[in-house]
Structure formats: structure tokens, C-alpha cells
Amino acid sequence: MSMKPRIDDTLRERIISEPDVILEDVDVMRALIAANERAMGGNIVDLRGIAMERLEARLDRLEDTHRSVIAAAYENLAGTNQVHRAVLKMLDPVSFEDFLRGLGGEVADILRVDVVRLVLESVQNDRDPAVKRLGDVLAVAEPGFIGDYLTQGRASPVRQVTLRQLQGGSPAIYGEAADWIRSEACLKLDFGKGRLPGMLVFGAEDPHLFSPQQGTDLLGFFAGVFERSMRRWLS
């Protein structure tokens, strides 16, 4: 006659006195459920066990979704703070030349982009001394260049913010840096009635910094602040 193994008295007393310890241990509870299923035999379907497994799977999915939502919220908050700091820094200079130079310096550093270029359409050539002094941040193009660049020659509407990945940037915009540009954000600028449009371009070596799947609200806000500042300088 076989006898079932007796549980240790100390362990038995602890389980009876603190049952929550067992209930809160996921691995122990799974082991107990598995032992119960084996004792029931293979011909009995444990509907409660199946329901528990499905509830556990659903809880895992909900926890994953919860973590994703929280991560996205923190990322959005960080992006908002980043753009706000860049805007404040952009508004600091008291001269137009310092305003433009700051774009390629501290503003670019805050936004964590490698290159910033302001493209202005003009019927004049780019031999102006001011253009040459600001050649690392300012580029002059003929009328119609910005629309063609944003649409890439396709008959599609021009959006205020265009995000895309590249195999290489345009030498007309990035100069020597064009070879290693892998993504860019293009912000179309409206300087007011009677003035040709402009474009602010953020270029990055990281191919994943800008992509069409990303939101554009913050960059749209930055473009709005920038074009209003430019209108004051141009007036």
C-alpha cells in the first residue's frame, strides 16, 4: 500500500498562516494548476484553466499597450520641451545675421540635427556678400525651386512639413555635407504677400531621425514661429 508524501509540517503551517504568499507567486500558482490538470487526467477539459490562460494573455497584451502609451507620452513631452527650448533660443539674437547663424549652432544642437539650411528663392544671384558670409546656413535658389524640391517633380500638393529618408542630400542645399545626409525635415515658409517662399531644412545622418510616419505638429509650430520672425526681419 503506497502512501502519499507528506508535506513538511513547518512549510504546511506557513502556507496555512500565509496563503497570500502562494496566491501572489505566479510561478507557484502555475505549477499547482499544472499538477491539478495532471491529476484530473487527459480526458477532462478544464474550462476554468483555459479561461485563466486567456485572461493572462489578455492582461499581458494590455500591459504591453500600457507601456507603449506611456513611452509615447514621455517621448511626445520630451519633443515638445525640445522644440520650445529651440524656439526660445532662436528668438534671443538681436541682429539678423546672429539670428541666422544661431540656426546652425545652438538651435541645431537643441534639435539634435546635423545640418540646418535656410533656402530663399530670389531673382538675384547668390553673389551678395551677406550670402557668402552665411553660406553655411543660407542658400539662395531661383523661383520655383522649393516647390519642385518638396514634390520631387510630382504633381502633388505642397505640405508645410515634409519628412523623408534619403540616400543622399541635395548638393544645392547641403553642399559638401550632402553625401552623408540620410533623412531630412523640410519646412515650407510663407513670408507674406508679395514675397517669394522660403524653406527651412533640417538634415540628419541618422536615417531614422525623420520619416513620413512621424507626426509633424511640433515642426509645424516651429515653422510658424520661424516665418513670423523672418517677416519682422524682412520688413
Question: Which of 55-69, 165-179, 185-199 has the least mean pLDDT?
Answer: 55-69
Q: What is the pLDDT of residues 96-112, one digit of tens each?
A: 888 888 888 899 999 99
119/39 same-domain check:
no
170/128 same-domain check:
yes
- Classify residue 71: in a domain, yes or no: no
8 Å CB contact between 82 and 107? no
135/198 same-domain check:
yes
The stretch 146-164 carries a mean pLDDT of 87
98/19 same-domain check:
no
Q: What is the pLDDT of residues 161-190, one digit of tens each?
A: 999 999 988 898 998 889 999 999 999 999
- Classify residue 171: in a domain, yes or no: yes
Signed CA dihedral, 42, 45, 48, 52: sign only? positive
41/154 same-domain check:
no
Number of domains composing the chain: 2
C-alpha cell read off for 185 = 525635415
State which of 11-15, 76-80, 86-90 shows the largest mean pLDDT.
Answer: 86-90
Cα 35 to Cα 27: distance, rounded to the nearest angstrom: 12
- Classify residue 228: in a domain, yes or no: yes
Which residues neighbour 235 within 8 Å (Cβ) at sequence distance 6 or greater? Answer: none
pLDDT-derived band at 204 (thresholds 50, 70, 90) equals: very high
94/202 same-domain check:
yes
Q: Exposed (0-12), middle (13-18) or buried (19+): which is 118, by Cβ within 10 Å?
A: buried
- Classify residue 66: in a domain, yes or no: no
The stretch 182-201 carries a mean pLDDT of 92
> Is 0.85 surpassed by the pTM of this model?
no
The reported pLDDT for the residue numbered 220 is 92
112/203 same-domain check:
yes
Residue 14 is part of which domain span? 9-60
**Greatest CA separation found in the chain?**
107
The stretch 194-211 carries a mean pLDDT of 92
- Classify residue 67: in a domain, yes or no: no
106/214 same-domain check:
yes
CATH of the domain at 170: 3.30.450.40
